[in-house]
Amino acid sequence: MSQSWKPLPDDLSEPARRLAEELRAVKDAHGISLAELGKRTYLSKASWERWLNGKRLITSQALAGLIAAVDCDAVLLTSLLRQAEAARGATEPAAAPPVPGPAAGPAAEPAAAATVPVPVPVAVPIPVPLPVPVPVPVPAATAGVPGWRRPPALAAVAAVAVLLVLAGLYLHGLKADTSAAAASAAGPTAPAGARPVALPAQLCQGVGCAGRDPQAMGCETDDRTLVTGTIGRVVLYVHYSARCRAAWAGITDGSPGDTATITTSTGSQETALIHWGYDNYSMMVEAASADTVLRVCGHQPEGDGCTRAVTSLVASASATSTP
């Protein structure tokens, strides 16, 4: 499925133009939207829009994420990116040497990898209770005889019986663990004749979404941008999901090291940090109450600044649309 693309900028170098055209062809060949492309590569759809329309040259990390996510000609795309970078380096003036600064704090994190591993739950074996030893009955005729001992043969039979019981329980527990793991991997099943049970529309809501990724939780499906603000060229966003009853910060047109922090009236905070590229978003904060106040503040070389406060979630969400 192809789409009608905008003309590429006239000032693109020939390698950069070919690279943008090849990236468009990969997207069209797989018939995926910008949002789906962003989810597969763990990047925002805004970044992919700029790369596919020639507004920015795609980064090597983003290209590596694309190659890992979809079937494409990795050799051709990598070669075109190197040629485009070389052409850009030949036309740009030499950059001034960086000025040494203080040691990076906790916010200065290393460049993120092209793909972020998603933790997979591991089936935990169910502990199997050990059997209580069953005493071997003592014959009534000999129970009271001083110095009586159980015959060696009877003791051996009792020991073998206990070992057989232990082995059976162990194998039963192992089989149960294996079956549980297989059932978990295959997904939920229903007994024969039972009516299908509808799964919940969202994976989290309210306080259950706090500190979690809005894309991974599916909260981006009804995302509303309640308010925006700017610091120089950098744009800050307050995102809100009525279905998940949670909010998060967004930042675009920034540079590595720029941040955007969302704060609630209860003091909860989450920060979006641009590791590399031009944009990012934060984890979510709870916004279950209609009177929750939200604000996003950013810190960039151009200075610090904040969006206006969102004081009525219901009214703001109904008056906005998905960007």
Look at the pTM and tell me if it is higher than 0.75: no
Domain limits, the chain: 14-91, 206-318
HSE-CB of 213 using CA atoms within 13 angstroms: 10
CB atoms within 10 A of CB 161: 13
Contacts of 128 (CB under 8 A, 6+ apart): 169, 170, 172, 173
User: How far is the C-alpha of 131 from the C-alpha of 159, rounded, in Å?
Assistant: 13
Query: CATH assignment of 206-318?
Result: 2.60.40
Q: pLDDT 10s per residue in the chain (323 long)?
A: 556 888 999 999 999 999 999 999 999 999 999 899 889 998 999 999 999 999 999 999 999 999 999 999 999 999 999 999 999 988 765 545 555 544 444 444 444 444 445 454 444 444 545 444 445 454 544 444 444 444 555 556 566 666 776 766 666 555 545 455 444 444 444 444 444 444 445 579 899 999 999 999 889 888 889 888 888 888 889 989 999 989 999 999 888 989 999 999 888 999 999 987 889 999 999 998 888 998 999 988 878 889 989 887 766 766 664 44
The second-level CATH assignment, the architecture, of 14-91 is Orthogonal Bundle (1.10)
Start-to-end Cα distance in the chain: 23
